Structure 1
Amino acid sequence: MIVSTKASYRLVMILLSINIIVLVVEYKFTHANNSKRENQKRQFANISRPKALESYLLQHMSDNGQRTKYLVYECARSRETPCYGWSDRIAGIVTTFIISILSNRHFLIHFDTPCLLQDYLIPNHYDWRYNSSILVNKTSSFHDIKNWDYKKIDKYISGGSDFNEHFRTDIVFLLINWDFISEFRKRPNIANDIPWISQFHQSDIYKDFYKFLFKLTNVSGNALAHHEKTRRKRKKIACAHVRIGRNPTIPQDTGNPVKLPLDVLWKYFDSVNRDEFDFFVASDSDSVKTDAKKRYPDNVIDTPGKITHIDQHTDSDPADGFLKQLLDFYILMRCDKLIISENSGFGMLAAFIRNTNYELYCWVGRDLIPCSRYTVNDIMPIGKFGIKPVW
């Protein structure tokens, strides 16, 4: 009986030892897998926001050599499908990048309509340029998930399912045009998968991400510098982006026409000190810009070229139209005072990336509501950067 008891005791101790060893091995394995991510999170908390996001992005991109699959933001003329406007495309690029992290894929951009993106914007800290050589011996697929078609991947966006269950090929070309930051934040493990998405404001993510990816080429940079040198007369500039939608200047625009009370804008400009400020009005309507020049001939400045929509075919040189819109965008980002209309994703994006939170006004009906980069979506919640519109 005594022998049996000792044997049982030894057996129990052996089993306990085995269990402890298993637990230690499991812990070390889990710790090894998570330590890198935890270190990133600790580093993330101890540095400023732009540096934190840049540090994370650089770390993520440095792992690209280990990735054999790709996720490519696709806005290509060969697809013969609309990509929509500038803000649609930047929102789509940000969404595609986030999905690339969640699906552990190498992120690239293929953007050649109405012209090649890298003719005007080039990589800043990360080379996102697509090259068809990656297609060799790889399977590929194209997914057009614009507007409400995002419902096809809704359970992956906010539900936590694995994106690779939907995107099964080696190379996935994705065309998407809405922002889903608020939806991604609902994923169960998002704080571990992408810590900055739950810690930083949407506008800061766009600001830092845009500057991380893009910088002006010599062509576009010189054009902007030439504009500043030859058109500007005063140190400060008051700006407005006036989005009308379908109108005689762009008759094929898919946006329904909006009757903005322009007297609200003119009344505001009347209150601005004209000795201190130049005026700049970016718009999709020639009549709005002409009216502004008539009212303030000594103050209004403009970018050269014809107004076009980058997704609409015209008789004009598409490259000239793209450059004009890009210059408009960069000028809006530098404005000392900025008014954006509520139906303008272009203006909202410029407000996100703008270097100041001050002197921003959200134009809603007959009201110019003081707002900031952080409150734009509260005041104008419907759109590609906020609550998805219902059609």
Structure 2
Amino acid sequence: MQSNMLCRCSRRTKCITFVFCVVVSSFTLIWRLFGTWPLSKQRFYYEPVRQIVTNEPTSHVIRNQSNPYQYMFGPALVPNIPEEYFHSHLNDKYIIYRCDGNGLCGGLADREEGIVAGFLISQMVGRKFGIRFTVPCDISTFLQPNLVNWTVDTGNFRSFTMRRVEVIDHDAWKLREQMIKMDLNVSYPEDVVYFKVNQEFIQYLLKNKHFKTLKWAVNLTVPEIYNVIYRRLFQLRPHLDQQFHKFQIRARARNRKLVCTQIRVWKNPTIPNDYDPGQRLDLNIIWDFLKQYNDSSKYSIFVSTDSEDVRKTGVRLFPDAIVDIGGNIVHIERSSGQQVCGGFAKVILDQLVLSTCDVLILTSSGIGRIASFVRGTSDELYCTSKGKVERCSLSDPGYIPYGW
């Protein structure tokens, strides 16, 4: 057998060497027969899928039809997981993320944290998953289901037992700690559990005993789990999909690379009622860093921000290289008025663009952090730290801060 040729054991070989040869040969045979290691040792490999963008701005984008995940421009990577690894035989109970005007939900990244946590819990306990997200506008206006149908008709739940698990900020911190040792089926026996949190739960849920049953997730990192879940749940509605692809074609015309930054200013004239963190980021370190890419023959520069002043500064400093997604800048929890829904669409597109950038520079922003998860690689990833821009990695300790 070919596998036996990996080791050649002579009569003078010690017994321990012989045993080692047998073990190695056996594992090699398993690999050749089944194409994978036993689950406890299994590590899923990335499948780098890149969209093909032609040089002409009017040309069409060719999608890779063999991959179920869309929006794979630039260096974006996604774990390649067999579909049969996901729990598909679900019971008639539900975990439903709910943000429908009953209390605060947070900004877009806060809500995405709750959605991703809710979906992971639903998989851990074998339940169906749904999203009821109607404030400030119905999320289904902008996003539609991809591989998971998360639309639900709550009118069918009249005879069901229900429970609300809706906690934010410090109360959410307490709950995620409790969930490490929680028996989720015992703690939440109701037919429908409405779930809403605005903090990062995945790094706690993966310590729960139920998590070990998830063949698709058991060997993934926290960023990889976000990457997979976000892509499984969402795809753009056609009108935004068209806008997104037109942006990519324009930005990458003539084989230019897309260089992006997400600048979170917090309280500022554009969003005057946002939280004030006190110490302000020195924006000059970002502008100075971007100057090396100020060559419109090689690069396009995209600035996503919560400040109209920052947006205008980017245009002024890099007039030939700048590319932008039109629309008002809003905070979907704190802004109000007729412009909010249009601004909601912009922030969704902004985040998706960030997930495709060849170079990505981040500040302290949940929008940018989740975009980097969906981007799926630490290549050309930079963070602001201690008054400078420096390389960072999705696996760095502290990349996911405790208070997030």
TM-score under structure 2 length normalisation: 0.76
Aligned-residue Cα RMSD (Å) equals 2.6
Structure 2 CA distance, aligned partners of 1:124 and 1:185?
24
Q: Which residue, out of 216, 234, 255, partners 1:214? A: 234
Change (3 A) 1:46 1:200: closer
**CA–CA separation in structure 2 for the residues paired with 1:292 and 1:155:** 41
Task: Select the residue among 317, 323, 329 that pairs with 2:339.
Answer: 317
1:312-369 CA-to-partner distances (Å, cap 9, x unmatched) read 232233221111111111111111111001x211111111111543111011131212
Larger of the two Rg values belongs to structure: 1
Mapped pair 1:72 → 2:96: yes
| Distance verdict in 2 for CA 1:362–1:280, change over 3 Å | same
More helix by share: 1
Identity %: 29
SS in structure 2 opposite 1:316? Answer: coil
SS for the counterpart of 1:52 is coil
1:213-261, Cα deviation, whole Å (9 max, x unpaired): 1111102101212333556655212111000111111011135355111
* 1:178-327 matches, cutoff 5 A: 178-188=199-209, 190-191=211-212, 193-229=213-249, 235-254=256-275, 256=277, 258-274=279-295, 275-327=297-349
Ranked by relative contact order (alpha carbons within 8 Å, sequence separation 6 or more), the top structure is 2
Q: Can you give the 5+ residue segments of structure 2 that lack an aligned partner in the other structure?
A: 1-35, 47-78
Counterpart of 1:107 in structure 2 is 129
Secondary structure at the aligned position of 1:362 is classed as strand
Are 1:63 and 2:89 counterparts? yes
Tell me the SS of whatever aligns to 1:199.
coil
In the alignment of these two chains, the number of paired residues is 335
CA–CA distance in structure 2, aligned partners of residues 155 and 327 of structure 1: 33
> Partners of 2:325 and 2:147 in 1: how far apart?
28
| Counterpart in the other structure of 2:386 | 365
Change (3 A) 1:334 1:224: same
Distance in 2 between residues matched to 1:198 and 1:97, nearest whole Å: 15
Deviation (angstroms), 1:289: 1.2
| Aligned partners of 2:124 and 2:210 also within 8 Å | no
Matched residues in 1 for 2:114 and 2:243: separation?
A: 26
In structure 1, runs of 5+ residues without a counterpart are 1-38
Counterparts of 1:44 and 1:212, CA distance in 2: 25
CA contact (8 A) 1:181 1:197 kept: no
Q: 1:248 to 1:53 in 2, by over 3 A?
A: farther
Cα contact 1:103–1:162 (8 A) shared by 2 = no
Q: Could you tell me which amino acid in structure 2 is paired with residue 115 of structure 1? A: C
Task: Please give the alpha-carbon distance, in whole angstroms, between the structure 2 residues aligned to 1:372 and 1:344.
Answer: 15
Q: Which residue of 2 aligns with 1:4?
A: none
1:165-180 pair list within 5 angstroms: 165-180=186-201
Which deviates further from its counterpart, 306-315 or 282-291? 306-315
Q: Compared with structure 1, are the counterparts of its residues 288 and 251 closer, same or farther at alpha carbon in structure 2 (3 Å cutoff)?
A: same
CA contact (8 A) 2:172 2:198 kept: no
Q: Deviations over 1:359-389 (max 9, x none)?
A: 11011131212123333xx25442xxxx236
Give 1:175 deviation, angstroms: 0.8
Report the CA distance between 1:52 and its aligned residue: 2.7
